[in-house]
Structure 1
Amino acid sequence: MQYVTVTALSHTGLVREHNEDSLVAGPWTLCGTVTENPQTLVFPLGTPLVVAVADGIGGQPAGEVASALTVRQLAAFGPSLDSEEAVRDALNLCNHAVYAAAGRDPELRTMGTTVAGAVVRDDAVLVFNVGDSRVLDATADGLCQVSVDDSPAPAPGRTTTSLVTQALGGAREFSPVIPHVATAPLAPGARYLVCTDGLTDHVPQDEVEELLRRHTGGRAAFELWKSAIEAGGPDNITLALIGIGE
């Protein structure tokens, strides 16, 4: 019987006072907290399984509220996410939910979040994102980004930017989103990395690739986190490693 493993970790980093990242794996959510060690969950392959991270927009209020709201919505939608259209509809509903919550409380006004993840079905993987959190395909041939960054080109001399061109919420007036959603066949032994930019902005992709080549499961998650911390840990770090086994 084939199964799906999800190894997850979320950490504040070394600079931020609190964690505005959230994570969902099936019905399990992790919101605005810290995992001292990677946690591994095992699910049967079959019913659609959603695994995603959400990164509250820094510099605006209540990012942790927006990210938590998003992953809890996705957890509720999870088993119904059996097509690209269903994923797009769910992300649009998340966007409406973030704006609705912000509209009810002045302290939440302009809160927003990015989101990126994958829905694992028995025959395919649906990859999705809004914003600059990422999904990476960690195949035997190397590491390939399969999400699409919603961010402008970095300034001269820089490799990253903190700006995003679309997010769930994040503005005073409602703004619709156009989610990026794609389908890929589910290959035996497939591995995917879903993460916030607290990892990818500070650890070069070739280093991430090398760590995933050398390690699996909890050790891989720990080594990725350690690399981000050794790079200064300036942002929250949240990641989930998805693997297919039998």
Structure 2
Amino acid sequence: MPMVNFTHCLLCALWQPLEENVKLKLSQFCQVPVSNIVNLHDVTNIWHIPLLLRDQRAHEAILKVLGLWCVGKVPQEPKLSEWTERASRFDKLKSPVRIAMVGKYTGISDSYLSILKALLHASVALDRKLVVDWVPSCDLEDSAAVETPDAYEKAWGLLKGANGVLVPGGFGDRGVQGKILAAKHARENNVPYLGICLGMQIAVIEYARSVMKLRDANSTEFDPAAKTPCVIFMPEVGCLTSYCI
């Protein structure tokens, strides 16, 4: 039986634009018109993607396949002035803003992907070029000064050079002391601090210990027997992750 091909459009994601001879070969082997083969190569920022699709008339190919081409109420030319402005704005950013991301999983950026995207959008809105410095929280602790002095110096250098400190969510007590030290540094030096989930607990614990002099202050999330619990579990809420400050 002959193989039936239901492919109408071919979008090729790669690091560089396709050469015309390659598009011709793809057209022959995949039985897709050359005009329906679209380059989705690497660009300087994500806002260039709609412009890339428009410039290659990808919308025309899709509308024709769907039978919507020349239908009165369907716009045939996309209005992308905002996208064009945003893409150009991003490319022109020069003034950096350095954010120290203090956590346990700093070697895996995908662990904090949503946070990174939020920071990116915020920095563009403020005309700043985002620079994220990954700071392993364990490397900020006093024990690291003895065990891994180079990592300790690097971590503190990044933290002290940051315009803002972000401590994201996390689990377990490993690296908690390093996060507390990061929160203390931010508070004492008037550096903007954002604590998300565990990061918020860290800020409360640090303030309770340093300012309120409650030396044993802790969260029952990682110290159920805390002598001075400043963040407690609320079983009446009926959720295993419901904590109250």
TM score, norm. by length of structure 2:
0.27
State TM-score, norm by structure 1: 0.26
For CA contacts below 8 A with separation 6 or more, give which structure has more relative contact order.
1
Greater Rg over alpha carbons, structure: 2
The structure richer in strand per residue is 1
